[in-house]
Structure 1
């Protein structure tokens, strides 16, 4: 019983830490200059918001997978920004 409580406390701590690390993607690509990349950023932000809603609806009991998905969306958002910057330099 004691081991279960400790394991549960560790799991909750890890989930909260994962949620704290993930930052909502920002829309920082010009939709006039790069409409497709800007749209992808918008969709990443919407997905992030839906994942947050799912976490709340399930009392954050999603095994850390939702938090990981949010982290990956932030990484994708950063790559989209870098893609736009690269396109700006090349054209």
Structure 2
């Protein structure tokens, strides 16, 4: 989602509080943090990509929101992972 992009707000995620489904004018949707849309527009750029990783994959944690982490993977990919699948350590 781009900063200032017009968005239509959908429902919240009952399994992941703090997130709201949003759809842009092209019909593309994604989960954004609650409060990320102000007056029908995205208040900043936001990447809604969810990552897929195999167990044991090392990731770099970039930022967190409501039980999810935006991660950078060693192969250059990036995306959100639920905190429940992450293990901090060696």
Shorter-chain TM-score category? under 0.3
TM-score by length of 1: 0.27
Which structure shows the higher strand fraction? Answer: 2
Larger RCO: Structure 1 or Structure 2 (Cα < 8 Å, ≥ 6 residues apart)? 1
Q: Answer with 1 or 2: which has the greater Rg.
A: 1
TM-score by length of 2: 0.27
Which structure shows the higher helix fraction? Answer: 1
